[in-house]
Amino acid sequence: MTDSMAPHPRRDYVVLRWWCRDLLQGLCLLVSSSVDHDNVHLEAGLRAVLLTSRVLIEPSGIDRSRLTQYCRADLRGQSPEWYCKVFGHLCAVEVARIRGSFPVLSARETETKL
pLDDT tens string 13-61: 788 889 898 878 889 999 999 988 888 777 777 888 889 999 999 988 8
Q: What's the CATH fold of domain 11-100?
A: Alpha-D-Glucose-1,6-Bisphosphate; Chain A, domain 4 (3.30.530)
Say whether pTM exceeds 0.85: no
Question: Residue range 76-95: average pLDDT?
Answer: 86
Distance from C-alpha of 20 to C-alpha of 101, rounded to nearest angstrom: 16
**Domains of the chain, residue spans:** 11-100
Region of residue 81 (phi > 0: left; psi between -120 and 50: alpha; otherwise: beta): alpha
- Percent of residues, the chain, with pLDDT higher than 70: 82
